[in-house]
Structure 1
Amino acid sequence: MNYLVEYYHEIEKGNILVGEELKKQLDTLILDLENPRYIFDEKPGNLRINFIETFCKHTKSPFNGMPFILELWEKAIIQTAYGFKIVDTDLRRFNEVILLIARKNGKTTFVAGLDIAEFFLSRGGVDIICASNTTEQANILFEEINNMREQSPSLSKETRSKKNIFYIYSPKTKNKIKKLSAQSRNKDGYNIEVGCIDEVHEMTDSKVYDAIKQSQSTKKEPLIFIITTEGTTVGGFLDSKLDYSRKMLKGEIQDERVLPWLYTQDSVNEIYEDKKTWQKSNPSIGVVKLNSYLEDVMNKSKHDLSTRVTMLCKDFNIKQADSGSWLNFDDLNNDETYNIDDLRDSYAIGGVDLSSTTDLTAAILVIQKKESNKKYILAHFFMPSEVLQKRITEDNVPYDIWVKRGLVTLTEGNQNDFSLVTQWFMKMIQTYGIRPLWVGFDPWNSQYWIKEMEDLGFNMEKVRQGIYSLSEPMKQLEADLKNSLVNYNNNPILKWCLANTQAKVDLNGNIQPSKLNSKYKRIDGTVALIIAYAVLNRYKLDYENML
């Protein structure tokens, strides 16, 4: 049986609900069944399906000890991932599967079954990897695999567990199941046939993924399963993968080797208005995940922000900023970009947040066009080179990648050199003709830099970081973000700073930016942008008359 076609027919008949993103992917796959570039072979997928249903058992209550009978959606994924071949090479089409699915839909059990099937069905001498962001999370998957192995007399007889050195192996085939995490010291030296990466939503970089990819460089038919729920980490590995997947679905990127399989909702409103739509992000609802659980969480979410954030993110795969954030993710997120050449010869308003000598410094330019309320934001960041690795570890974000992308300038030594901020403003003038009419700054820690800027002819404006000076510009920025009037060129650092920002409120309803929960949640980009807004409000008429 072709489970992909069967799944598609059930969706078309209305017996199964999926979101627009998955429906678009399935429409394409059904067309690809008739594409002469591909052939579809049910046998490789069926081999794994039959193995799992014959030998694997559940290990967790309330299904402990029961045979692992795959659901239709699981069979459709397996057949699709393994069944499509490229005619010219007769090799498997897909080398990467991205499965986004809400929690408690049997995700870990599904991954464990796949890993065990690969372990027994692969050629000899291969490594099967179960990976995650943390060692603890990788252990959860590894323990599920090992428990599933021990549940079956046939499987346990053919294998040995070397839990103390983190692998399961077969004396007969020399195949191994190993675990890997972002915390693993040595990520090299593997011979990986199939890698399953679980819960990537907390990963800030691609190091685990890259290690698996690199180890597969000699394989003709490598495969990586990326299986996760949504998360609150902004600008991390999952955001990158989902952005890539969604550009594929929109036709902006062509990549026949990647299979996005995204269980997502089409709106927040439908969750509250129609319980039937819960199946879009919860394909195992009613079988593994109970409706009563979601009903209970739904009721609590109406009165508790923290519950709402967790529920939307984890139970419905709707991206959220951390609980307590000034803005929710939909408000702060803007994937719109621009070409800086289109902003040449513009007048701008500047804003700067100078850090302490060892922290992140942010410089902002805000540009408006004539007869338009939209703001175009140029953002650049600065950091001492000697604290880079420390900041990567403590802040848990990929500063090294941002440096390579040209978003961060490193200053030599262990202290910031604010003259580089001056050089950035001069570069904007000399290279692009983008001239800041006024540059806002907080007078704390900026005496010598201000003189340097003023000596070069910049009009410098004091904006103290207090609730009375920042409240109105912060509220204006919030309104503009919610109305999609702020195009920050999808800068991941500024997006991260916005997500880290909490609104501190006084008795009169005035607000000012504050760090969210942790000293490692940087908000420098937000502060610099609010300072620029404060100057813009101060000189609004003058600025608009010069456009």
Structure 2
Amino acid sequence: MKNSSIDWQDVHPTNRYAAEIVMGMRPSCEMERLACQRHLDDLKRQATEGFPYVFDESRADRIFEWFERCCRHVRGPFSGELIELVPFQKFDLGAVFGWVHLDSGKRRFRKAFHMRARGNVKSTEMSGLALYGMCGDCVYPPGRPDLKRYEDSPEVECAAVDKGQAKRVWLDAMKMGENSPDISKRLRIKRTYIEHAKRGGWLRPLSKDTKNKDSGAPCLVIIDEYHAHQTSEIVDVSYSGFGKRLQSLMQIISTAGKDSENSPCKKEYDSLCKMMKGETDMQDSYFVMIREIEQEDDPHDETIWVKGSPILQDENEYSEELRKQMRAEHDDAYNSGDPSKIREFLTKRMNRWQADSENKYMSGIMDKWKALAISRDAFLDLVRGYVTWNGLDLSKTTDLTGSGFVFRLPDGRYAVTAHGFMPEETATKHEHSDRVPYRQWADDGWCTITPGAVVDYNYIKSNIQQMETDESWFIQEICYDPYNATHFTQQLEAEGYERVEIRQGVQTLSEPTKFFRELVLKGLIVHDGSPLLTWCLSNAVEVKDNNDNIKLSKKNKDDSQRIDLIAAIMNAMVRAMVGDSRINLNEHIMSDDFSF
């Protein structure tokens, strides 16, 4: 596409914006360029075999006209004025609503994932979209607006992590509807409900506290600030209601958040980035637009701020004020040197994911850990016939119990693996409280669900013996946390195993805990990719004394974010890292009386 050959006035705004991004006429990040390139590529293959979709400009224009003729600002200096869409909004809205099936006219996209920084009119868009879902959404064959089909009883959900946030989105939509003569005559807007005057239905707030979340058949679901959701429950329940309408749509809109192993938004973000880069199959029904500053970008350089804040692309009164505010927050954060303020600026204003704000043991290096995984079969082949140290963390008999193994390899690397055990009667409860799939992990071989209400330690013994028999492992020592383990390890000792009590003070655990992290940083550790072990590792918080000795802990004593498997590995690492120097270390361990 040559710039000199284009009459830009004849190009639809959605297509024009995509071309300007791909040609470098507008600054952008990689993910935005990929989204725009996808749109241009799809234009070339529309209405072809295997891709039965077309870009219907009339459908894109319809959503533009809805905003610019019916919707008024409810916040800020433009409050009360009709909304004027800026170019990036015309691309996003035009693409989501303009792509339709060639024959039926139904929308192509069933899901849309939008990420951009704070201040980029997400709330305004959500309110206008919610009202469009109630009043204007319809189906018609491409180019035939005279054949519009509306659905009776439209259902629109404004979903958020809690009732207050969900209600805020709903209240903004209510105020926007009340302030518009075109919209207010179509809807009955009351203090507690919004419905269509002729077709019924509802526009309602939805959160984890809402009863009967799964009773609807939504036309449109708006998921607000998905980064704040601890689970994917709202997304999953809402999406399960699709299929009952002609063209249901879910709009997920968020800024970045904490790069947590348990964040459903971060998992979705990571998955979609892979899809857009071509590392996984493209989902034709999923629209993705991620705007962010990139890892190599300097957040002090104002010229790159536009990557996460596309509204800065076009100079106007609002963008000028936003830039001033961003500059003030930048200066305040970096001049203060406060890590929490810097993290807040990078997350909310730069739209860059940040490590969990807690003092996480593996903060910022979980990706390095994951990259060191090999397949389970390859791992077993690698360590077959080797000496290993076993570590046990038995904890409460009704909770997760961990058995870990540490190997020293001839090339200087260490290999680690761990297995979990949980009683049948508490597994379901812990799946809900811990928000992880223990039963699925058990099916996949990463843990064992034992019968009854408490962990049957015979299963742990059987697992250790099976590894010796099937994989030819030689168990050098059983290294155990003395809590709740004396009787069981005595049984193991009676069967010929050598057991070593590992005191749980920092004087014992600090050196192996630091050593383990160094191995990860240097790429000198290998593991079998256990999702249960990775989850435990991501949960571990670093506890430090006045002498910079450290050990691992959960965030809170009763926290459901468990660390048992990595705790078991650390017990084994105490002995594995010193090899044959067992007598001196044993004396050190037994004299360790440090406590907090």
User: Shorter-chain TM-score: what band?
Assistant: 0.7 to 0.9
> Of the candidates 16, 27, 41, which is equivalent to residue 37 of structure 2?
27
Structure 1 residues 540, 231: CA separation in 2 closer, same or farther (over 3 Å shift)?
Answer: farther
Structure 1 contact 332–482 (Cα < 8 Å) conserved:
no
> Of the candidates 66, 85, 90, which is equivalent to residue 70 of structure 1?
85
Larger CA deviation: 58-67 vs 470-479: 58-67
Larger CA deviation: 83-92 vs 252-261: 83-92
Say whether 1:276 aligns with 2:316. no
Larger CA deviation: 527-536 vs 405-414: 405-414
Q: Distance in 2 between the 1:365 and 1:157 partners?
A: 69
After the TM superposition, which residues 127-526 of structure 1 pair with which residues of structure 2 at under 5 Å, given as runs?
127-164=155-192, 167-232=193-258, 233-254=260-281, 255-267=283-295, 269-285=296-312, 287=318, 290-302=322-334, 303-327=337-361, 329-333=363-367, 334-336=369-371, 337-345=373-381, 346=383, 347=386, 348-367=388-407, 370-371=410-411, 373=413, 375-388=414-427, 391=430, 394-395=433-434, 407-429=446-468, 436-455=475-494, 457-486=496-525, 488=527, 491-516=530-555, 519-520=558-559, 521-526=561-566
Counterpart amino acid of residue 185 in structure 2:
K
RMSD of aligned residue pairs (Cα, Å): 3.0
Structure 2 contact 178–189 (Cα < 8 Å) conserved:
no
Structure 1 residues 94, 515: CA separation in 2 closer, same or farther (over 3 Å shift)?
Answer: same
Q: Distance in 2 between the 1:13 and 1:371 partners?
A: 49
Q: Distance in 2 between the 1:370 and 1:393 partners?
A: 43
Q: Distance in 2 between the 1:8 and 1:344 partners?
A: 49
2:454 is paired with a residue whose SS is coil
Q: List alignment gaps of at least 5 residues for structure 2.
A: 1-10, 138-149, 583-596
Structure 1 residues 384, 30: CA separation in 2 closer, same or farther (over 3 Å shift)?
Answer: same
Deviation at 1:86, TM superposition (A): 4.5
Counterpart amino acid of residue 262 in structure 2:
G
Deviation at 1:440, TM superposition (A): 2.7
Counterpart amino acid of residue 68 in structure 2:
E
1:195 is paired with a residue whose SS is strand
Counterpart amino acid of residue 522 in structure 1:
R
Q: Distance in 2 between the 1:203 and 1:485 partners?
A: 35
Structure 1 residues 299, 170: CA separation in 2 closer, same or farther (over 3 Å shift)?
Answer: same
**C-alpha deviations, 1:356-400, integer Å up to 9, x for none?**
233332333345654263x55434333344445654565565656
Deviation at 1:31, TM superposition (A): 1.2
* 2:589 equivalent in structure 1: none
Structure 1 residues 541, 312: CA separation in 2 closer, same or farther (over 3 Å shift)?
Answer: farther
**C-alpha deviations, 1:176-223, integer Å up to 9, x for none?**
212222232322221111211112223343322222222112334222
Q: Distance in 1 between the 2:61 and 2:16 partners?
A: 14
Structure 1 residues 500, 340: CA separation in 2 closer, same or farther (over 3 Å shift)?
Answer: closer
Deviation at 1:315, TM superposition (A): 2.8
Q: Which is higher, the Rg of structure 1 or of structure 2?
A: 2
**C-alpha deviations, 1:97-143, integer Å up to 9, x for none?**
11122223222221121111121113222211111222222112111
Deviation at 1:307, TM superposition (A): 1.8
Structure 1 contact 160–168 (Cα < 8 Å) conserved:
yes
Structure 1 residues 117, 400: CA separation in 2 closer, same or farther (over 3 Å shift)?
Answer: farther
Q: Distance in 2 between the 1:17 and 1:175 partners?
A: 42
Structure 1 contact 235–492 (Cα < 8 Å) conserved:
no
1:290 is paired with a residue whose SS is helix
Counterpart amino acid of residue 364 in structure 2:
D
Deviation at 1:241, TM superposition (A): 1.4
Structure 2 contact 362–517 (Cα < 8 Å) conserved:
no
Deviation at 1:471, TM superposition (A): 1.1
2:500 is paired with a residue whose SS is strand
Counterpart amino acid of residue 210 in structure 1:
D
Deviation at 1:406, TM superposition (A): 5.3
1:192 is paired with a residue whose SS is coil
Structure 2 contact 408–576 (Cα < 8 Å) conserved:
no
Deviation at 1:10, TM superposition (A): 3.0
Deviation at 1:330, TM superposition (A): 2.8
Deviation at 1:355, TM superposition (A): 1.4
Q: Distance in 1 between the 2:346 and 2:445 partners?
A: 34
Counterpart amino acid of residue 461 in structure 1:
V
1:34 is paired with a residue whose SS is helix
Counterpart amino acid of residue 120 in structure 2:
N
Q: Distance in 1 between the 2:502 and 2:131 partners?
A: 61
Output the TM-score relative to the length of structure 1: 0.88
Structure 1 residues 158, 185: CA separation in 2 closer, same or farther (over 3 Å shift)?
Answer: same
Output the TM-score relative to the length of structure 2: 0.81
Structure 1 residues 78, 413: CA separation in 2 closer, same or farther (over 3 Å shift)?
Answer: same
Deviation at 1:433, TM superposition (A): 5.2
Structure 1 residues 308, 50: CA separation in 2 closer, same or farther (over 3 Å shift)?
Answer: same
Structure 1 residues 230, 396: CA separation in 2 closer, same or farther (over 3 Å shift)?
Answer: farther
Larger CA deviation: 201-210 vs 220-229: 201-210
Q: Distance in 2 between the 1:250 and 1:370 partners?
A: 38
After the TM superposition, which residues 38-117 of structure 1 pair with which residues of structure 2 at under 5 Å, given as runs?
38-87=53-102, 91-117=106-132
1:105 is paired with a residue whose SS is coil
1:33 is paired with a residue whose SS is helix
Q: Distance in 2 between the 1:540 and 1:67 partners?
A: 77
Structure 1 residues 62, 465: CA separation in 2 closer, same or farther (over 3 Å shift)?
Answer: farther
* 1:545 equivalent in structure 2: none
**C-alpha deviations, 1:248-300, integer Å up to 9, x for none?**
12323212222221112221x52335222122222224745723333333344
Q: Distance in 2 between the 1:112 and 1:306 partners?
A: 31
Counterpart amino acid of residue 153 in structure 2:
G
Q: Distance in 2 between the 1:379 and 1:492 partners?
A: 10
Structure 1 residues 277, 490: CA separation in 2 closer, same or farther (over 3 Å shift)?
Answer: farther
**C-alpha deviations, 1:409-430, integer Å up to 9, x for none?**
4444443333333344345455
Structure 1 residues 184, 399: CA separation in 2 closer, same or farther (over 3 Å shift)?
Answer: farther
Counterpart amino acid of residue 501 in structure 1:
A
Structure 1 contact 320–329 (Cα < 8 Å) conserved:
no
Structure 1 contact 379–488 (Cα < 8 Å) conserved:
no
Q: Distance in 2 between the 1:458 and 1:103 partners?
A: 59
Structure 1 residues 350, 230: CA separation in 2 closer, same or farther (over 3 Å shift)?
Answer: farther
Q: Distance in 2 between the 1:44 and 1:158 partners?
A: 21
Counterpart amino acid of residue 171 in structure 1:
A
Structure 1 contact 335–489 (Cα < 8 Å) conserved:
no
Deviation at 1:490, TM superposition (A): 5.3
